[in-house]
Chains A and B, each alone.
Chain A
Amino acid sequence: MNINSFSWPRLQDNLKNFSFAFPAIIIFSIFYIYPFFDIFRLSFHQWNGITPSMKYVGLQNFRELMGDAVWWQAMGHAAYITLIALTFQNILAFALALACDREIRMRRFYRVVFFIPPVLSEVVVGLIWQWILYAGMQDGQHIGLLNYWLTQTGLPQLAHNWLSDPKTALTCIAVVHCWKGFGWGFIMLLAGLQTIDRQLYEAARVDGANSWKLFTNVTVPMMVPVMLVVVILTVLGSMQVFVLVLSMVGQGLGYHTEVPVTRILAAMTGTNRFGYACAMGVNFGVILIMVSVAFKSLSGRLKQA
């Protein structure tokens, strides 16, 4: 806005428009901004979380973090889980949403059933998967369901200590994470599919497009914005995973199952380095924002294409 174009009606107009966003902004400023700046301030301090005196250390926390191999290793693990979630989980969610968008039998049933895992308590998920992936034997038989099935189906050589082997532990966690989370992608994508104008399909079909053409020329372009939201939420959910990790492998397996949030928790409560934990949080946030911006620009290009 430049000064010359200033006018009362316009200001009024802007104010009216702004008032729509005002409640959200006020709640946000009260409950987010202050904690955020407090954390930001703490990231420049050395503090055990309780003493009245804290020591200002400038950028030392951040400098130490840059050289913290375990932190970057944890970041890599989260990226691995995210990658699996982005491909495996989202493709699955999209495929299932497409299937349920069509007029197939029992689609009501599927729609309800696919949302069960997100509703399940973490306690149940932890116990169930612990049982499935259990590695030990009792009376010469595998206790774990997976190992039991493998033995029964004649593949005993594949029976394995799934959670305590660095080669498989992270993948197991990622698979359970995808299983628990695909319901969300499913309903969001389904909601997105529902808002596509049916007339677009009709028009394309009249033009002689086959199912694949319909999918690539109508469905995908219309779904890009919703897919972007799903992708961003998947990235956030997978990068910040930790309850599942703790319930499946505890703090175990050396540093092979560390993810950023478990590192932050370890710094906060394990080693009482509050300032360092805050620096981790800030660093982590910056990385997540960068990733999201990258996906946003990617989707912008996809939409144009």
Chain B
Amino acid sequence: METNRYVLERTVKGFFVHALLLVFSVTCLFPLFWMLRCALMTNATVFTDKSFIPGSLHFGNFAQAWTEGNFAVYFFNSLFYTTCVVVGIVLVASLAAYAFSRLNFPGKNFFFYMFVAAMMIPLPGSFVPLYRLMTVLGLINTRAGYILCMINVGLSMSILLLKTFFDKMPPDLEDAARIDGCSRLGIWRHVALPLARPAIAVIVIFNSLNVWNEYILATLLLNDKSLMPLQRGLMVFQGTHSVDYPLLMAGLTIAAIPIIVIYLAMQKHIVKGLSSGAIVG
């Protein structure tokens, strides 16, 4: 009797949890399906064909979007920018967050709150001084200039999140490493970073998405077509007035793939985030 009731209770509970999760999954999956569906239609049918799965599927749209959007160039530019910015942010932010969390130096709190405050203040029209600055530094129309700007954009949030995770780190691990003769940099590399893996995964996802979708800053800072990121390619389908929806959707689908790949790769680290006990043990 007892076990039966327990099993029943668990089944009912499980049913409700799954029902809730499934409902949300459907709302999340629907737009993805819709985007794919539009990507396979033509401009003439995209708004008129009401069938669930359109009669004729135009897989050629993807190839057309790839060539017309000049994705061959833009896609790899975006990959390059995303990689550089994300690696840069993870290095710079984790060093800084570690210092703010674990090390002591005068002005530590001041600097930390400066970063946090910067996140809060929107700078309307900051593009004018930024452009002037980049011109003076000779960084206008360079990959380096764009990458540094984007690193700056993601820095505050990354430092805040990483510091929160470092703060939770048990101090005895560091002490153990210190006794083993680890330097500060060594502790950061071998103790702090592995422990903060879930947080780093979140930061990688967050910043990848941010850089991948960024467009305004790129338009502002880059002149050469050969330097432009992916979003520039997508603009081709969104005319000043008319929009080529199927090609745009095909382009958006192509553009979404790398982000989903990054997410799939990173969420493993969130899932497998090692509990601190496991390391010590």
In the complex, which residues of chain A have a beta carbon less than 8 angstroms from the beta carbon of B159? 24
Which among A24, A119, A187, A236 has the greatest number of chain B C-beta atoms within 10 A? A24
Q: Which residue of A lies closest to B245 (CB)?
A: A127
CA distance A15 to B103 in the complex (A): 11
Determine if B124 and A24 form an interchain contact, defined as CB atoms under 8 angstroms apart: no
User: Known contacts A191-B199, A278-B124, A292-B120; is A99 also within 8 Å of B271 by CB?
Assistant: no
In the complex, which residues of chain A have a beta carbon less than 8 angstroms from the beta carbon of B222? none
In the complex, which residues of chain A have a beta carbon less than 8 angstroms from the beta carbon of B188? 20
Give the Cβ gap from B3 to chain A, nearest Cβ, in Å: 18
CA distance A199 to B24 in the complex (A): 32
Q: Which residue of B lies closest to A115 (CB)?
A: B263
Determine if A28 and B118 form an interchain contact, defined as CB atoms under 8 angstroms apart: yes
Determine if A20 and B35 form an interchain contact, defined as CB atoms under 8 angstroms apart: no
CA distance A14 to B273 in the complex (A): 32
Give the Cβ gap from A297 to chain B, nearest Cβ, in Å: 13
Q: Is B186 close to A, CB under 8 A?
A: no
1/0 per residue, CB under 8 A from B, across A101-116: the answer is: 0001110111111111
Which of A31, A113, A116, A121 is the one whose CB lies under 8 Å from B130? Answer: A31
Determine if A195 and B273 form an interchain contact, defined as CB atoms under 8 angstroms apart: yes
Q: Is A76 close to B, CB under 8 A?
A: no
In the complex, which residues of chain A have a beta carbon less than 8 angstroms from the beta carbon of B277? 197-199
Stretch at the interface among B58-66, B72-80, B201-209: B201-209
CA distance A1 to B105 in the complex (A): 10
Stretch at the interface among A53-61, A66-74, A153-161, A282-290: A282-290
Q: Which residue of B lies closest to A114 (CB)?
A: B28
Determine if B275 and A14 form an interchain contact, defined as CB atoms under 8 angstroms apart: no
Q: Which residue of A lies closest to B107 (CB)?
A: A18
Which of A25, A49, A277, A280 is the one whose CB lies under 8 Å from B111? Answer: A25
Determine if B263 and A112 form an interchain contact, defined as CB atoms under 8 angstroms apart: yes
Determine if A194 and B273 form an interchain contact, defined as CB atoms under 8 angstroms apart: yes
Q: Is B122 close to A, CB under 8 A?
A: yes
Q: Is B70 close to A, CB under 8 A?
A: no
In the complex, which residues of chain A have a beta carbon less than 8 angstroms from the beta carbon of B104? 14, 17
Determine if B151 and A35 form an interchain contact, defined as CB atoms under 8 angstroms apart: no
Determine if B99 and A17 form an interchain contact, defined as CB atoms under 8 angstroms apart: yes
Determine if B126 and A117 form an interchain contact, defined as CB atoms under 8 angstroms apart: no
In the complex, which residues of chain B have a beta carbon less than 8 angstroms from the beta carbon of A111? 267, 270-271
Determine if B14 and A27 form an interchain contact, defined as CB atoms under 8 angstroms apart: no
Determine if B270 and A289 form an interchain contact, defined as CB atoms under 8 angstroms apart: no
Q: Is B259 close to A, CB under 8 A?
A: yes
In the complex, which residues of chain B have a beta carbon less than 8 angstroms from the beta carbon of A30? 133, 137, 148, 152
Determine if A229 and B95 form an interchain contact, defined as CB atoms under 8 angstroms apart: no
Determine if A39 and B164 form an interchain contact, defined as CB atoms under 8 angstroms apart: no
Give the Cβ gap from A123 to chain B, nearest Cβ, in Å: 7
Q: Is A188 close to B, CB under 8 A?
A: yes
1/0 per residue, CB under 8 A from A, across B96-128: the answer is: 101110011110100100111111111111101
Determine if A197 and B276 form an interchain contact, defined as CB atoms under 8 angstroms apart: yes
In the complex, which residues of chain B have a beta carbon less than 8 angstroms from the beta carbon of A184? 206
Determine if B92 and A24 form an interchain contact, defined as CB atoms under 8 angstroms apart: yes
Within 8 A of A (CB), among B153-172: 155, 157, 159-161, 164-165, 167-168
Q: Is B53 close to A, CB under 8 A?
A: no
CA distance A240 to B121 in the complex (A): 10
Determine if B124 and A194 form an interchain contact, defined as CB atoms under 8 angstroms apart: no
Give the Cβ gap from B180 to chain A, nearest Cβ, in Å: 19
In the complex, which residues of chain A have a beta carbon less than 8 angstroms from the beta carbon of B143? none
17 A-B pairs whose Cβ atoms sit less than 8 Å apart in the complex: A20-B95, A25-B111, A28-B118, A36-B118, A96-B24, A99-B17, A99-B21, A111-B270, A120-B32, A120-B35, A194-B271, A195-B275, A195-B276, A226-B164, A233-B157, A281-B123, A289-B121
Q: Which residues of A contact B (CB under 8 A)?
A: 1, 14-18, 20-21, 23-25, 27-28, 30-32, 34-36, 38-39, 42, 49, 92, 95-96, 99-100, 104-106, 108-121, 123-125, 128, 179, 184, 187-188, 190-192, 194-199, 222, 225-226, 228-229, 232-233, 236, 240, 261, 264-265, 267-268, 274, 277-278, 280-282, 284-286, 288-289, 292
What are the 3 A-B residue pairs with the smallest beta carbon separation, nearest first?
A: A285-B121, A194-B273, A20-B99
Since A113-B24, A114-B28, A119-B256 are in contact, a sample of 20 more A-B pairs with Cβ atoms closer than 8 Å, ordered by chain A residue number, is: A21-B95, A24-B155, A24-B159, A28-B155, A31-B148, A32-B152, A35-B130, A99-B17, A110-B21, A117-B31, A121-B213, A123-B252, A124-B31, A124-B249, A128-B34, A188-B202, A196-B275, A199-B277, A285-B120, A289-B120
